Amino acid sequence: MAFYQSVVLGSCSFLLGMVFVCQVVDIPLLYVPVTKQALENAYSFYEMWYEAPGAIKALFHVALGLPMIILLVKLHRWNESAMFFDGSSVAMHLATIVLYLTVHIQSLRTFLPESTTTTSFSILPPPPPREVPPTEDERIEAVRVMAAANALVGLLTMGVIGMQIGQEYARRQEEKEQRELDARVVVGEGKKDQ
């Protein structure tokens, strides 16, 4: 199981790194009064990712989907450790994916102009055309909602990492206790033989 756990930890660490990079533009939108410069920085930062080549988006989607697949494989063992640690990790990672699909994608489509790259390389259906362009207030709200969703994704991803580390710690503690118990049994049998 060490390989599976390493894949989950590596992918989640990559996602957490992406969230930390986004905090550069998210913090001025969430925790201090919003300025015009903070909004422009956020628009240009997220437009860079929105217009990224398909390989960048594919890498991100693999890093987002791979932990879910691996966690479901680990959950298939169906022992106490898998039910608690992997089950909790599945729930948290599923919430991350739902946030990405419902908040991030929709917010990007609201506050950024139509993308030539997104419509040509996407597994998601194209959005219906808007009858009226978004107002400036809608754009500001969308970018701030996405910044808040990034914070939630960071917390959920740290939860997945914490559950995987906790699972490994619990496994090692259980093995240690089992070795101590086995040693006591061997010592007890040695005394009976005398």
Which pLDDT tens digits describe the chain residue by residue (194 residues)? Answer: 688 889 999 999 999 999 999 999 999 999 999 999 999 999 999 998 888 888 888 888 899 999 999 999 988 888 887 788 989 999 999 999 999 999 998 888 888 876 555 455 566 666 677 788 888 899 999 999 999 999 999 999 999 999 999 999 998 999 999 999 988 888 777 676 66
Residue 37's CB is within 10 A of a number of other CB atoms, namely 9
Task: List the domain range (segments joined by +) for residue 10.
Answer: 2-193
Number of domains in the chain: 1
pTM: 0.84
